[in-house]
Amino acid sequence: MAGELLDNRGRGEAEWNWPAIHPEGRKFGLIAAAISLAVLILLDWEIIGWPMLLLSLGVFAFFRDPERVVPQGENLIVAPADGLVTLISQVPPPPELQGADASGLSGLGTEPVSRISIFMSVFDVHINRAPVGGTVRRVIYIPGKFLNADLDKASDENERQHILIERPDGRVIGCTQIAGLVARRIVPFVKPGDIVAVGQRIGLIRFGSRVDVYLPHGTDPKVLLGQRVIAGETVLAALGEERLLEGVRQ
Q: Which of 202, 177, 200 is nearest to 188 (CA)?
A: 202
Active site residue 209: yes
**H or E stretch at 118:** strand 113-120
Q: CA-CA distance, 10 to 60, in Å (whole number)? A: 33
Q: CA-CA distance, 38 to 34, in Å (whole number)? A: 6
Are 211 and 81 in contact, with CB atoms under 8 Å apart? yes
Catalytic residue among 36, 117, 155, 209: 209
Q: Which amino acid is at 202?
A: I
3-state helix, strand, coil in the chain (%, to 5): 20, 30, 50
> Annotated active-site positions, please?
209
